[in-house]
Amino acid sequence: MLHQIIHQALPQFIIYPKRRTSKETEASMYLRITYGIHSTEKSLGIRINFSNWNAAKQKIISQPNHDAQLRQTAAVFEQKIMGSYYELSRHGGTFTLHEIMQNAFSEKQEDKYSLFGVFENAILNLEKLLKPGQSMANLCKHRTCQQRLLNYLKINYNVSDISFNRISRSFIDGFEIFLKTEARNNHNSAMKMMQIFKKIYRIALENRLTDSNAFAGKKLTFTDVEMAYLTNEEISLLMNRTFKMDRLNYVRDLFIFCCYTGLAYIDLKNLQRKHFEYNPVKKQFFIKKKRQKTNQPFIIPLFQPAEMILNRRVVGWQHLHPDVRVFSVISNQKYNANLKEVAAFCGIEKNLTSHLARHTFATSVLLENGVSMESTSKMLGHSKISQTQKYGKVTEIKIERDTRELFLQLSLNGK
């Protein structure tokens, strides 16, 4: 019975100074850990003037910086010990104080229960789940968030890690301000970083690495962004322009190909002959593939403007080996840089990027020509139609076409 009571109790902590002799004026600060009837101590690596220690308040007086450092170090140690305790508890059975300490402070477990310990473990798990050839965009965003948090801690707290119990609502709000000011993120980018941070914090909550939820009541809201796209007139302007430099002609052709297929840059880069399937009934080719970013399947008719570019740039492409990549594509950075030159020569003030072609396909090519939102969603490889609605801007042209018959009918009724 006594054994059960001991293991139902939580580890208890107390901070205290320790001197070799009573004559010494300086003392080393220690954390005493008590679990059941057993106790041990751990040095906090901080030395103070013994006379500055207030035992009743558990505080260093007259030395606020030392006191802040002491509390931070003690909080990190307590976090590791409690994390170790809860981890051992999940496995069931009995365990000793020695096992708790060994699990918390062994070389392998170092910093496991701090913010960056949990963050790094989450990133490692993401890396393990990545399939060959799959987009690393989500992983890169996690790495970016991790770096932003590290910069925030160094600038505002002068530390390189923090325990979850020290993360307060003011810490969270401060990080959001940091993202929008120091890191120069726009609102939606900042919200994405906050979303990732919240996900890491939730892992800590679920594993009882913090006593309270500092994110409670914190709302992360995204603003609707108007998606830029090219009009049919601007597409024609690009298609009819000939450049002196063939690299610009080639990049323009790739861009137009994407305007009529909706392919993202990574899917264009990895497009192979086997992704083109011929339908003998329809007497046309279809592009069938899975999106590199989301692994969602899509199917797109090879519209004539795209087929014309394919025939011109890849002569005899129908007879290529199934695994051969169709286009020779430069890096996304160079591709977008060349597109800026193309836009400048054509007098197009919009920021031409590889992704703008995808918006153009959804809006000017599909929706404005009466293609349903459901079919557009399937061609774009979206898992939810709400994603397509963000791309598919309802334009005046589409409204005019959709209401043309009603307009005529009402006009006749009014005569």
> What burial letters (b/e) apply to 234-246, b meaning 16+ CB within 10 Å?
bbeebeeeeeeee
* pLDDT(6) > 50: no
CB 153 within 8 A of CB 159: yes
pLDDT average, residue stretch 374-403: 74
232-402, superfamily in CATH?
A: Intergrase catalytic core (1.10.443.10)
pLDDT tens column, 97-149: 887 887 787 655 445 578 988 998 899 888 888 777 666 788 899 999 999 99
Which position has the token pair 């000011």? 181
pLDDT confidence of residue 133: 64
- How many helices (H) and strands (E) the chain has is answered by 17, 8
pLDDT confidence of residue 385: 81
Lowest mean pLDDT among 94-98, 113-117, 191-195, 375-379: 94-98
Highest mean pLDDT among 52-56, 150-154, 176-180, 328-332: 176-180
Lowest mean pLDDT among 82-86, 104-108, 175-179: 104-108
Binned at pLDDT 50, 70 and 90, residue 3 comes out as very low
Mean pLDDT (the chain, rounded): 86
Binned at pLDDT 50, 70 and 90, residue 313 comes out as very high
Tokens read off for 251: 């990049």
What is the DSSP annotation of 18-71? E-SSTT-SEEEEEEEEEETTEEEEEEEEEEEEGGGEETTTTEESS-HHHHHHHH
pLDDT confidence of residue 4: 41
pLDDT tens column, 254-307: 999 999 999 999 999 999 999 999 999 988 999 999 988 778 899 999 999 999
What is the three-class DSSP state of 146? helix
For β-strands 276-279 and 284-290, DSSP reports them as antiparallel
CB 31 within 8 A of CB 77: yes
pLDDT confidence of residue 391: 61
pLDDT confidence of residue 119: 92
What single letter denotes the amino acid at residue 135? S
pLDDT confidence of residue 414: 60
Tokens read off for 69: 């450092």
Binned at pLDDT 50, 70 and 90, residue 2 comes out as very low
CB 79 within 8 A of CB 113: yes
pLDDT average, residue stretch 170-175: 96
**Cβ within 8 Å of residue 20, ≥6 positions away:** none
Q: How many CB atoms lie within 10 A of CB 40?
A: 13
More confident residue, 284 or 67: 284
Distance CA 17, CA 61 (A): 13
More confident residue, 53 or 64: 53
Residue among 291, 313, 312 at smallest CA distance from 382: 291
* pLDDT(397) > 70: no
pLDDT average, residue stretch 57-82: 85
* pLDDT(395) > 60: no
Distance CA 276, CA 287 (A): 5
Domain extents in the chain: 2-109, 115-206, 232-402
More confident residue, 42 or 137: 42
pLDDT tens column, 321-371: 999 999 998 898 999 999 999 999 999 999 999 889 999 999 889 888 888
Residue among 125, 127, 296, 113 at smallest CA distance from 208: 113
* pLDDT(44) > 60: yes
Backbone angles phi and psi of 89, in degrees to 5: -65, -35
pLDDT confidence of residue 396: 58
Helix-helix angle 332-346:232-239, to 10 degrees: 100
What single letter denotes the amino acid at residue 170? S
Lowest mean pLDDT among 172-176, 195-199, 393-397, 407-411: 393-397
Lowest mean pLDDT among 236-250, 350-364, 391-405: 391-405
pLDDT confidence of residue 93: 61
**Is the Cα torsion angle 336, 340, 346, 349 positive or negative in sign?**
positive
What single letter denotes the amino acid at residue 179? L
